Structure 1
């Protein structure tokens, strides 16, 4: 049964109202409509057409006239039986602008706006003006604005997760790379959930950071708050995007499958960044330590390869892992050794060509054991081999994927266990990363 404030309607494939109930039927009749006629409420009719044309559920805020008053609604359009089912709730007077959420410090200021934009809860652009072409409506925000920089993604997703405003966020128009600054207020649906953004933008001076500028240190509180604020919302974003991409609730158009995959990929990238920042905060504390315990490095290597088997299969890369039954006793912390090898093998898969192979080789030498991860990628120039282990160090910052923290964290963890991570490579001949660990617990002397 629908909540008391919810009204419904059914619209056929031609946009003709089949039936309506509740307050929706009353307002539609007052506007000159009725059963057997086109819906007389243009914003809701437009949403129904869009949902029917795309073949997907669409939910977003809508404003309609109710006598002399504008009313804000939450409208959900669901394709059904060749037509559309409409569910309408909310029914509150429409303010000139969404009010700040109670208790929120609202930095939103539209005084200097050069364009305005709105999105729905799925981060699709629903309104645009100024230099934002109307043709962009329906596109994901990540297609309208270039938010690839991590510092730009965090405020947007954090604001969505916490139903807050954000202001003066750097981004670029994806169409022409012009620098912009974005601000927005979160909108809420009738149940208090996130319903999208009402935003503004202005063009900004394109100032690149000084090459010598160093990233600010991340404190423990920052990492903990970031983890709490983003992990669960990001997991939900990934789950919903994967569901759309897999067409679990019914077929959708091919471009929306692509959008869903883009959203899931961006969210997974950000989850990886959150993990890395939490690790970075931990390993740079003075009291950081690892557990000293016996482990089987061969088993850890097989497990790491198994965790990456789906990614490797999708990339058409073969992982040649240690044989079952092969052992390599070592001293270290199991989960940290696994973390290092997932990073090294994941990098090798990423940089390997299709139909390529990644080799995992075990070795013993004196009081140390090692596993080498070798790929068939393009290799790393000698002058770049030290830099890739620096914090935020990347050979090509424009290359998609990665954030310059994985190898830095891997080496710090290995050295905390009394081992190391090293690289050998030549351009055009792939790269070989080697994790070494001690076999004697008394030899563990963290850096």
Structure 2
């Protein structure tokens, strides 16, 4: 499974030398061209930081376009006297505009009565509007913007066990007649129909459709599955925190980078502190969202072949600046080292960022964090070792409990990272355990199944 990477090359003086189409379009929207200074403030700031420090810098950021807010994950790497930018997870959230796509929604509305819904490619609601018919009012508890589709609706298979919506999404085609029940009220049933939405480049941006109430007596339903976290919690969490925090971080980064002119050092420092605090809160929101996901009975992962040593090097690169702040050296596997394993790439990277991040957070200044890989008992094994105080043997299972921080009162995290990481590792057929002699540093050991090859 691969993700599209948008690439650009920035000169040492900040000029954009080359860029893939989406980023070039953003540059031109700002009134600049190739050869001009990079005109996207957030990208220019991360490029300058990477060039000044001489290290790879990675972070998420949000940029504003005329038609959308664009969130992305950016990796900036010093290269040939300039900086190479690699952008993944480019997501466009359309701005509110009554004129966008109304012809398509009108066509769908003509098919049947019901209320109108729209989701993005991550199956998060972008819109919920009442229709014009007698049965077209919104439910009393409509989906919140940003809420997961799967938290609001539970899809029901047809007599053949097929699901029209899943088939339509797989083929990027319209679908009709997908039955679903409300997660919060299984007695309320709907028939869902929708058509795909595409951007000007032909890329899928989501689906817009109609939810039509079903009034026939429903067949006997099995007991609804246990839900540990109410759907409303997830909806409000995303709508009330993630989006405002993203804007706060983006604005604070712009001020801290002094893109609009010089500022007093203390003012720039305040902005940097605001951005740092915002990222901390956003990490907590992400932890809560991941917790909701991994505790669902239907949680699953994608199994693919991956190189555990390569992912370890990526995690080390993501945390290089954080380690530099404490004069900590991260020693990842050598570039020529490989270790084939199976799992889901982004989930394994998430685990390693958590393990290495914890090691950097709690290791003494001026020490080393070592990462190495090996085979053991038919499993691929990766160890993250620090030179801190270690973990007492009595706490080596308790540390994986939900919200467990072993009595720490600092602001280092939510106490969910290790719980989520172990759940992810076990979902991929592996595990995480703690080793190391008391007083000689902690060793967190991730194991995953080896690749078939």
For the pair shown, the structure with the greater C-alpha radius of gyration is 1
TM-score using structure 2 length: 0.48
Structure with the greater relative contact order (CA < 8 A, sep ≥ 6): 1 or 2? 2
